[in-house]
Amino acid sequence: MIQLTIIRIEGYGPWTLTLGSDREAQLQMLQARIYHDVQRLFSERDGIVFFNRFDEYFAITNGLGTDDHLRIQRELARLYENMSMSMTIGAGKTAYEANLNAYHTRKEGRRMLDNNSKIFGSINSHADIAQIMHIDIDSSTKVGNWLSPYELTTLVMNIYSKIAEEFLKHNSLAFFLGGDNIMVISNGTTKEEADEVLKKVTADNNIKLNCGIGTGKTGRKAAEAATRALDTIRDLREIGKIQTIYEIQCP
């Protein structure tokens, strides 16, 4: 079981219009600051946060309780007095199921505490497993030798789009991290299924993908294990052992 918390900036679109037409640089700087603070606050509690949109974030919050969410919300309110942020908590056997439960919880207006609370849903004490896949392009530096920076970005985004689409069929959620890195919240997806997805995504091009799979009790531990698994693939390649998928479980 995995627990997700969806953090959303409320009324963001209408609020941005009040800044006038010369607002885009301000908004980009603001979004970067908000993401930094949201990531910091959840990471300090062993969670990890992913961009969904620039006004919405997905956090793996296994082990975080009501008080943790309240403290984070209050700190964000203190840092951003003119902005209202809500949280919606959902749990499930897969990331998509947790996302869906959070969606219905919010739609039905099931608040955690009272009518004024901006936290929806409830804590799931059984959410104690997170599985993350960390995917990158094999030898992306070499690919950059025959593609311009913008063309390389276009290629990466195209691959990300296909990965997101294919993993969604396995009830997993994919998020672009920047560079050539993608993380997938993949509870319930097997190593064999991941291999099938990666082969399908790269079937019509010369790109090869590496995938580190990490499992842990919390989001941060799972992400750590996934990245360590990805690093292991690179280490193995240095000694002549080619392996595109590697799995590590974090205690």
Nearest to 157 by CA among 180, 185, 141: 180
CB of 35 within 8 A of CB of 53? no
H or E segment to which residue 214 belongs: strand 209-216
What pTM was computed for the model? 0.94
Element (H, E) at 237: helix 219-238
Task: Extract the tokens encoding 51.
Answer: 């961009």
Quick one: which of 250, 120, 225, 97 has its CA closest to 173?
Answer: 97
96 by DSSP, 3-state: which? helix
Per-residue pLDDT of the chain (251 residues; tens, 9 = 90+): 999 999 999 988 888 888 899 999 999 999 999 999 999 999 999 999 999 988 999 999 999 999 999 999 999 999 998 889 999 999 999 999 999 999 999 998 889 877 677 999 999 999 999 999 999 988 655 666 778 889 888 989 999 999 999 999 999 999 999 989 999 999 999 999 999 999 999 988 888 999 999 999 999 999 999 999 999 999 998 888 888 999 999 87
